[in-house]
Chains A and B, each alone.
Chain A
Amino acid sequence: MDDQQTSEEGSQSFKAWLSALWRVMAIPLAAVLLALVIGAVLLAISGANPFRAYAALIEGSFGNMKAFGRTLAKATPLIFSGLAVAFAFKAGLFNIGAQGQLLFGALVSAVAGFMIKGLPPFLHATLALLAGATAGALFAAIPGVLKAYTGAHEVITTIMLNYVAINITDYIADGPLKDTSGGNVIARTPAILDSAKIPSIGEIPLGFFLAVLASVLVWWLLWRTTLGFEIRTVGLSPHAAKYAGMKVAFTVTLTMVISGFLAGMGGGIETLGIVGRYQPGFNAGLGFDGITIALLGKTHPFGIIPAAILIGAMKAGASTMQFNAGVAKEITDVIQALMLFFVTADMIVRKILRTKAESGEKITLSGWGQQ
């Protein structure tokens, strides 16, 4: 009797869990589908065969183990930049500056990767990765402090700082730390030492597992610790947070720092695991993709993983698509933008799916006036 009852309860709660999962996933899934459909229409307009294009895209990203490995490699920094954006979001901050923080992370990891010599492999890679993450964290502290103590809106300051980051990293890679070996003329740093490289396990890059681990840690931090409680409270109601004795300005700054740490780590992993040096342009757009991924993943650390794999697959398959179907790679940017549109304009999608709005923890980003 008892057994039956518990198993019944178990299946009931499993059902409830499934329907809850469906409620969460329905909108992003529908958004992705809608974006693909409109993408197909655009492809058709510009004279390409959408089916061939999409088939090539899938082949290039999931067609074989190698392609799949490439997808996960592309997804790895995206998980980090998605986490960075989502984490800041929980405190009501919109970190559009993940791009700049990621650039500094990539550069500093590279510098640590070729300048520090004589360290054992595991230690060197760890150190180089942490150096990059710290650089991202420090760079993110600027908009954090400005937001917390002057009210300067983080959206504008982080975008401005993205341009600053592009200029400064360009200067460093083309100036003081330029690779001069073998008569190189392009802007890039020397290659990192072998001891700093993050290896792959078969076709799957080790960095991917680090990214998954980071997602779990972020989840734990947000929902199982007092710091996470403070961050979420500040995001949902800064006034109530102040009333409750939380240090709002400090929490805002710290959130940006952690967000920058994650973004910097994404840049570092890209350098140490894939590129092998810092070269301007190699990381372009990864930070912005983080916005799409964070929102597609419903700003939940576990939602970000599939979202990042999806976007990673589009990046991995884009060249195959260009080669096989003769479609410009940039179509994937358009499809991504459409995904972002539909997942945020969820009222449109809800009308199509006929579902009601969920009463979730809705975060409102601050305008100019509030601090």
Chain B
Amino acid sequence: MQTTTTLPAPVSPWKRFLKQWGMTLGIVLSVVVIIIWQYSLNENITEAVLASTIRQSTPLVLGALCGLLGERSAVINIGIEGQMLLGAFIGFLVNVWTGNLLLAVFAAIITGAIMGLLLAYMSVTLKMDQIIGGTVINILALGLTGYFYQVGLTTNGKLQPIPLGPLADIPIVGPALFNNPPITYATFVLVILVHYILFYTKWGLRTRAVGEHPRAADTLGINVFKVRYVNVIIGGAIAGLAGAFLTLEAVGSFERNMTNGRGFVALAVMIFGKFTPLGAWGAALLFGFASAMQTQLQFAGINVPHQFIGILPYVLTIVVLAGFVGRTHVPAADGVPYEKE
């Protein structure tokens, strides 16, 4: 008995283009349409939504920057959540003790960097499984912050918005982009800076080479271990800054497990953004926009239990992972410890 299997014809270049960029294009278009439609209805709400989008996206894009610095040099960082949480906590504590906001931000960054160092030590030197290493950091952060946290402490003030002169008065985008507190501005700068470093400098070229083919980099005299350590530590510092954003800029106090999975959402943002800073920024803005719309839905008096609205970012993360991970080029050596001999 013979049966013939019929198989699909090869895809045309147009279809291939759609497959690669169609989703991105579709999302951008629909977001723009929603914004314009909203603005025509009520400009104040639109501005509020946009400002909220930026707020929500800031920790995500910082987390994603942390993640992609590691991944570009082939270290999977699943401990972003823990690095953020400890950064938030230490930043908070330093502020409570000293009352100094700048010192607190600095302490958060250092804390993140130390946690980055720990991850680098586990994954580069000890060659531990990186997923487990990151999980260790998460659980450690949860345990330490839980033990040392005392209820009732509040920060001495919060980082305040700094309007950038007339720019802040531009309709629609002005208040969202040019009237922000310092960490948000720093995030804008960091996105551009990391993009520049990764794609236009010697260090970036070496980082990407180490992530794709560490042995090739090694044979050219590049210190694979050093590249990984430095990237993961800088990534940790950025995650620490994201933590500082949460306690010192957004909320003004600390709560147990206040990162609420943002470190993991950031990983989805990173993958969605194809491991590029600019892409991650776009993805983070989309996630931020979705969160901001949620809040608006609640204010609009639509009667949905808050728990259902609460799960939206998590569901979105899962959808993004399921839809995108197979279509993105992941650094070839990602997650693999480098053995010298």
Contacts and interface: CB of A to CB of B under 8 A. Distances in A.
B39 to A, nearest CB: 31
Interface residues of A, number: 48
A208 interface: no
Given A150-B321, A328-B147, A348-B126, 18 more contacts: A146-B318, A150-B326, A155-B78, A155-B131, A160-B314, A163-B260, A167-B310, A333-B146, A334-B146, A337-B136, A337-B140, A340-B140, A345-B133, A347-B126, A365-B129, A366-B335, A368-B71, A369-B330
Contact of B334 (A160, A334, A369): A369
Contact of A344 (B132, B318, B326): B132
A318 B205 CA distance: 52
Nearest to A371: B326
Contact of B261 (A160, A337, A338, A368): A160
A42 B310 CA distance: 36
7 contacts: A155-B131, A168-B311, A337-B143, A338-B143, A344-B129, A347-B127, A368-B335
A160 B269 CA distance: 13
Interface in A322-346: 328, 330-331, 333-338, 340-341, 344-345
A340 B122 CA distance: 13
A365 B132 contact: yes
A161 interface: yes
Contacts of A164: 311, 314-315
A333 B268 CA distance: 28
Contact of A367 (B128, B323, B334): B334
B114 interface: no
Interface in B231-265: 260-261, 264-265
A199 interface: no
B93 interface: no
A368 B260 CA distance: 22
B133 A152 contact: no
Contacts of A348: 126
Contact of B135 (A46, A160, A291): A291
A333 B261 contact: no
A171 B328 CA distance: 36
A364 interface: yes
A15 B295 CA distance: 66
A152 B321 contact: yes
B267 interface: yes
Nearest to B150: A328
B53 to A, nearest CB: 20
Given A330-B146, A334-B147, A336-B139, A368 B305 contact: no
A179 interface: no
B261 A151 contact: no
Contact of A368 (B265, B310, B325): B325
B38 interface: no
A150 B147 contact: no
B197 interface: no
B36 interface: no
B264 A159 contact: yes
Interface of B is mostly: helix
Given A333-B146, A334-B143, A345-B122, A161 B318 contact: yes
Contacts of B318: 146, 152, 156-157, 160-161
B317 interface: yes
Interface string B282-326: 000000000000000000000001011011001101100111011
Interface string A122-163: 000000000000000000000000100011110111011101
B224 interface: no
Nearest to B134: A155
A288 B139 contact: yes
A144 to B, nearest CB: 12
A170 interface: yes
B222 interface: no
Contacts of A341: 136, 140
Interface in B90-138: 122, 126-133, 135-136
Nearest to B331: A369
A295 B307 contact: no
A279 to B, nearest CB: 16
A251 interface: no
Contacts of B142: 288, 333, 337
Contacts of A368: 71, 76, 271, 325, 328, 330, 334-335
B144 interface: yes
A159 B261 contact: yes
Contacts of A159: 261, 264
B327 to A, nearest CB: 10
B71 to A, nearest CB: 8
Contacts of B136: 337, 340-341, 344-345
B254 to A, nearest CB: 14
A331 B147 contact: yes
A340 B136 CA distance: 6
A344 B129 CA distance: 8
A94 B326 CA distance: 19
Nearest to B334: A367
A215 interface: no
A76 interface: no
Contacts of A333: 142-143, 146-147
B286 to A, nearest CB: 16
A96 interface: yes
A338 B140 contact: yes
A351 to B, nearest CB: 10
Interface in A258-291: 288, 291
Contacts of A365: 129, 131-132, 335
A94 B260 contact: no
A295 B330 CA distance: 28
Given A152-B318, A347-B126, A171 B131 contact: no
